[in-house]
Amino acid sequence: MSTTKTPARPLKVVKSDAEWREQLTPIQYQITRQHGTERAFSSPNFDSKLKGTYKCVCCCRPLYRSEAKYDSGTGWPSFFEPIEPDAVNAFEDRSYGMVRTEIRCADCDAHLGHVFPDGPPPTGLRYCMNGHALIFDED
């Protein structure tokens, strides 16, 4: 998996900080715009088994399908692949003395979570997402 420092393409959704603060709840803003993390087992839909699509809370871009969601035991919604390869962008994250791969929405650059190489087949990846960064549309 490659990592980049800038979005792969120009962002489709660009808003001021004030616009994001007005649109989002405080926890949604802290996670998506300030690269925060919610407490494990505290987010909406972390253990949901409903069928549907998980979208970016900031711009409504479809990101993950329920068929790619699985119980990773971590307390965060986890997926083995995005809905399409260009739905998310990967960035090197060296915060907290670790090297991880941060995942952001490709359309608005919202911080969603991180991806790890310990997921199930067929990809072997675990997209560990913040539930407050996602909205769920049931089929």
Helix (H) or strand (E) holding 111: strand 111-116
Cβ neighbours, 10 Å, residue 38: 21
Catalytic residue status for 105: no
CA torsion sign, 17 to 78 to 53 to 46?
Answer: negative
End-to-end CA distance of the chain: 31
Residue of 58, 59, 105, 128 marked catalytic:
128
d(CA 117, CA 1): 9
Active-site residue set? 128
